């Protein structure tokens, strides 16, 4: 039996089944393949009952299946909310793979909320009606915040499964006093309102988009933890510090700058100090640029910086050792000379 899609609540996600390229119209963010779904624990007394449930966009939480309900991936479940009422989400992981997912959590024992039951048709209908109101509520909330002259950006709205509460996600540079805003929103929508501040990276993950690589944003598809990214990551990889190219849609440095950083750092350990100077009979030379993977360095004489010489790092280490014990008698090789010309404009 085909699972219902939590995005459109129909079993017609695939627009054209006769088409050889069957594309889904609604793809869940942070999708995980449960490759351990058919593998049971070898320990019969294993009472591990945590289940991963996904809500709107990238929000995922863990709940306890205390009632031992038979759950599969894609099932709609009614779960305990943080306040009063209940919430509805989709089961994404069960069994052994949940243990691997909670390893990054600081305190797995804090997941005390439980799953009530599989969602009934009435509950799913109420939930789907609430989801349809989210876009209108977002636009109206933005107008209210603008009328109150609040320097904040409301980027997303999420209704609780029972439709009794709405969470408004916003970003702001400074601390915001939104007590008056909450009163206005509560009067406008007649529901309980919660304001939750998120970072700019979390905002991009919720909204989604296409990166400069041509693929969907990593934060929307698989990236969960946001590590700090600095310009040092770009310098170690010999990238030009061009802010327009290094920043993503969140106006922060791209997370992908850290992906290959460890490989570059391990490769750079074999290189001599970039600030070292080589003494030759023609003068003093210094490093201008490096090639990490070819293990080469470009050097130029201080007196003639427009001519670069490409030399292997083994040869450079030998010259540095000779500089310690004898006067400079070597020349930089005339092979692989790169002439740099300056452009002049009339």
- Residue scoring higher pLDDT (210 or 112): 210
**Residues 337, 308 contacting (CB under 8 angstroms):** yes
Amino acid 291: pLDDT: 86
Amino acid 226: pLDDT: 85
Do 188 and 85 belong together in one domain? no
Beta strands in 7-138 (DSSP E): 50-54, 60-64, 76-80, 86-93, 115-118
Is residue 64 included in any domain, yes or no? Answer: yes
Amino acid 5: pLDDT: 46
Amino acid 112: pLDDT: 80
Do 173 and 114 belong together in one domain? no
Do 49 and 138 belong together in one domain? no
Do 149 and 111 belong together in one domain? no
Is residue 281 included in any domain, yes or no? Answer: yes
Amino acid 46: pLDDT: 55
- Residue scoring higher pLDDT (165 or 343): 165
Is residue 221 included in any domain, yes or no? Answer: no
pLDDT band at 84 (very low <50, low <70, confident <90, very high): confident
- The last residue of one of the domains, among 53, 85, 119, is 119
% of the chain exceeding 70 in pLDDT: 80
Compute how many other C-beta atoms are within 10 angstroms of the C-beta atom of residue 144.
16
Backbone angles phi, psi at 203, to 5 degrees: -65, -45
Do 246 and 281 belong together in one domain? no
Q: What is the mean pLDDT of residues 329-339?
A: 55
Is residue 345 included in any domain, yes or no? Answer: no
Please tell me the least confidently modeled range out of 3-7, 64-68, 170-174, 237-241: 3-7
Is residue 310 included in any domain, yes or no? Answer: yes
H/E element holding 266? helix 261-268
pLDDT band at 104 (very low <50, low <70, confident <90, very high): low
Residue 37 has pLDDT above 80, yes or no: no
Amino acid 194: pLDDT: 92
- Residue scoring higher pLDDT (307 or 105): 307
Alpha-carbon span 39 to 35, nearest angstrom: 9
Amino acid 17: pLDDT: 35
Do 285 and 245 belong together in one domain? no
Do 4 and 111 belong together in one domain? yes
| Residue-wise pLDDT tens digits, 186-238 | 999 999 999 999 989 999 988 888 998 899 899 888 887 888 898 988 988 88
Supply 173's token pair.
């540079």
Residue 281 has pLDDT above 50, yes or no: yes
Is residue 212 included in any domain, yes or no? Answer: no
Domain range for 41 is 1-119
Q: What is the mean pLDDT of residues 53-81?
A: 89
Residue 52 has pLDDT above 80, yes or no: yes
* CATH number of the domain to which 185 belongs: 3.30.300
Do 247 and 287 belong together in one domain? no
pLDDT band at 103 (very low <50, low <70, confident <90, very high): confident
- The last residue of one of the domains, among 66, 92, 119, is 119
- Residue scoring higher pLDDT (100 or 189): 189
Q: What is the mean pLDDT of residues 242-257?
A: 90
Residue 113 has pLDDT above 80, yes or no: yes
- The last residue of one of the domains, among 93, 119, 145, is 119
**Residues 3, 13 contacting (CB under 8 angstroms):** no
pLDDT band at 315 (very low <50, low <70, confident <90, very high): confident
Q: Which residues pair with 167 in a beta bridge?
A: 158, 194
Do 11 and 99 belong together in one domain? yes
In terms of Cβ atoms closer than 10 Å to its own Cβ (0-12, 13-18, 19+), residue 130 is buried
- Residue scoring higher pLDDT (304 or 184): 184
Q: Which residues pair with 299 in a beta bridge?
A: 287, 309
Residues 6 or more apart from 293 whose CB is under 8 A from it? 267
Number of structural domains (the chain) is 4
Residue 43 has pLDDT above 60, yes or no: no
Is residue 138 included in any domain, yes or no? Answer: yes
Is residue 213 included in any domain, yes or no? Answer: no
With 0.75 as the threshold, say if the pTM is over it: no
Amino acid 28: pLDDT: 63
Do 40 and 74 belong together in one domain? yes
């Amino acid at each position: 039996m085909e699972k219902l899609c939590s995005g459109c609540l129909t079993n017609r996600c695939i627009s054209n089944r006769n088409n050889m390229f069957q594309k889904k119209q609604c793809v869940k963010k942070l999708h995980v393949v449960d490759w351990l779904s058919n593998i049971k624990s070898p320990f019969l007394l294993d009472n591990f009952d945590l289940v991963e449930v996904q809500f709107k966009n990238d929000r995922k939480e863990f709940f306890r299946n205390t009632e031992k309900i038979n759950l599969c991936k894609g099932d709609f479940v009614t779960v305990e909310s943080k306040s009063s009422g209940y919430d509805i989400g989709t089961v994404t992981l069960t069994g052994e793979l949940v243990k691997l997912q909670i390893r990054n959590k600081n305190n797995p024992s804090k997941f005390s909320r439980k799953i009530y039951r599989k969602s009934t048709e009435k509950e799913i209908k109420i939930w789907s009606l609430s989801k349809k109101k989210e876009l209108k509520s977002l636009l109206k909330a933005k107008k209210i915040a603008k009328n109150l002259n609040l320097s904040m950006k409301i980027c997303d709205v999420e209704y609780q499964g029972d439709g009794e509460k709405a969470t408004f996600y916003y970003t702001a540079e400074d601390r915001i006093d939104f007590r008056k805003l909450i009163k206005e929103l509560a009067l406008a929508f007649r529901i309980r309102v919660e304001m939750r501040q998120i970072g700019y990276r979390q905002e991009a993950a919720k909204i989604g988009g296409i990166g400069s690589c041509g693929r969907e944003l990593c934060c929307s598809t698989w990236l969960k933890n946001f590590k700090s990214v600095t310009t040092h990551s770009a310098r170690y990889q010999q990238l030009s510090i061009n802010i327009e190219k290094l920043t993503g849609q969140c106006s922060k440095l791209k997370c992908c700058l850290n992906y290959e950083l460890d490989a570059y750092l391990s490769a750079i350990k074999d290189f001599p100090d970039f600030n070292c100077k080589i003494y030759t009979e023609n003068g003093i030379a210094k490093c201008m640029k490096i090639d990490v993977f070819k293990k080469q360095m470009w050097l130029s004489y201080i007196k003639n910086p427009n001519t670069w010489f490409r030399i292997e790092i083994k040869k450079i280490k030998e010259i540095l050792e000779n500089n310690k014990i004898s006067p400079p008698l070597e020349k930089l090789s005339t092979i692989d000379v790169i002439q740099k010309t300056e452009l002049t404009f009339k």
